[in-house]
Chain A
Amino acid sequence: MTTLRTLAALILAAATVFAVLGSNAVWLAAAATLGLALRVALWENASRALRPALPIVLFAGALALLRWVSHTPISVLPLKTVAVFLLSTAAMRIFPWTRLSPSLDATSKVFTPWLFALFVRHFADILAAEAGRVFQARALCVTRPYGAGALRSLVAALGAVFSRALTRAERFYAAQFLRGLAA
């Protein structure tokens, strides 16, 4: 099972790299659809699977909107952003972190990339938790999706997620720096 999960995660990681490098809209759309299907299948319920993707989708939408407003052709960048997010998070979810951890040696060549992947995974978890809290708080205040202040509160919530992300990143870096793990 560990081998299968590792293999599946590596295939998804490779697909993520292709999505980063690729520029074919059809392939990117297929990759995003696959990532979406995997998220729904791997998470406990659809709501928990899709909610963390909302800020990414909004960010990608804002990118597309800015290009449309400035009368420039809409690139594949928004689609790429969504596809990379969905594929990489699915890969992170599938990868058997706990099972592989004991077998890795600190002197091995894969240890540094492994540590980097763990940093990314941990920070993505922190970000998802912070985003969850912010949007939960917003949902408690804004009960009607198109009512007064709905858009303003959405913008404020997104801003709060970014500022919290910065604060948490600063603390995480400081903690790891003091443990001798950061440059």
Chain B
Amino acid sequence: MKPVLEVEHLEFSYDSRRVVLHDISFTVFEGERVGIVGANGAGKSTLLWCLLRLLDARGSVRFFGEKLTKSAMARIGVVFQNPEDQLFMPRLIDDISLPLLNRGVEKPVAVERALKALEQVRLREAAERPASQLSLGERKRAAIAAALAGSPDLLMLDEPTAELDGRAVRQLSGVLRELRMARLIASHDLPFLKDQAQRVFLLREGQIIAEGPSQQILSDEVLLDRAGLI
């Protein structure tokens, strides 16, 4: 299996006194589902922001063997915690097709791919509606569709189940289970990660304190207690 994301000795601090991420190293392989699990404030979202170079961190991050270039960026789909940060157009179909149009894809092709992405997240019928009229669960799935439209090889999700009710989580899990690309999911939702991730990294105060198969790590109560998750 080829690596899609290689992280080596990543370090980040907002100021010199408090280190937020300390010596983070890991690799995500093609088609692999990896979870980053940690309590609130452990550094999960900061880690994702550093990987995407939204924050300036020290260390090496390589996507598909290269630095985060525009061509590499086009192969990554990102789903933010709050779908309102991503979706702003008058109709969902515009929101999903916009990045494709921006990359120079012809409008009919972009619309077709957007509709296919909406189909994948079971929101085909909502294509003409604005995202603001959808439920939070539907908006989260719409944000995933926005990421899927670009046919990414790596999907990064930040707290995908935050504020969702049980049914919405099940629907989201169903959608994610059908995807084939590599996934990096930052979450503190243990049952969700047990279901979605093959491998997890346990993050505590910006450090990876354990790594392994999700079923094993997320069943270890001593470890979870150390990480402040139970």
Using a CB–CB distance below 8 Å, which chain A residues touch chain B?
A: 97-98, 100-102, 105-106, 118-119, 121-122, 125-126, 168, 171-172, 174-181
A125 to B131, CA, bound (A): 13
Interface contact B85-A174, CB-CB below 8 Å: yes
Contact A178 B102 (CB under 8 A): no
The residue of chain A having its C-beta at the shortest distance from the C-beta of B94 within the complex is A101
Give per-residue flags for B189-208: 1 if the beta carbon is below 8 A from chain A beta carbons, else 0: 00000000000000000000
A178 contacts across to B, CB distance below 8 A: 52, 54, 73, 76, 78
The 6 closest A-B pairs by CB, nearest first: A122-B88, A106-B101, A97-B90, A175-B85, A101-B90, A98-B90
A180 to B84, CA, bound (A): 17
Query: How far apart sit A97 and B74, CA to CA, in the bound complex (Å)?
Result: 28
Contacts of B86 in A (CB 8 A): 175-176, 179
A105, B107: Cβ atoms closer than 8 Å: yes
CB of A101 within 8 A of CB of B89, answer: yes
- Decide if B58 is an interface residue (CB 8 Å cutoff): no
Which residues of A lie under 8 Å from residue B102 when comparing CB positions?
A: 106, 179-181
Interface residues on B, range: 20 to 34
Q: In the complex, which residues of chain A have a beta carbon less than 8 angstroms from the beta carbon of B76?
A: 178
* A171–B82 CB distance below 8 A: yes
Residue on A with the closest CB to B146?
A179
Minimum Cβ distance to chain B for residue A71 (Å): 41
In the assembled complex, the Cα of A118 lies from the Cα of B98 at a distance in Å of: 12
Report how far A179 CA is from B89 CA in the complex, Å: 13
Inside 8 A of A168's CB, which chain B residues have their CB? 85
Residues of A within 8 A of B85 (CB): 168, 171-172, 174-175
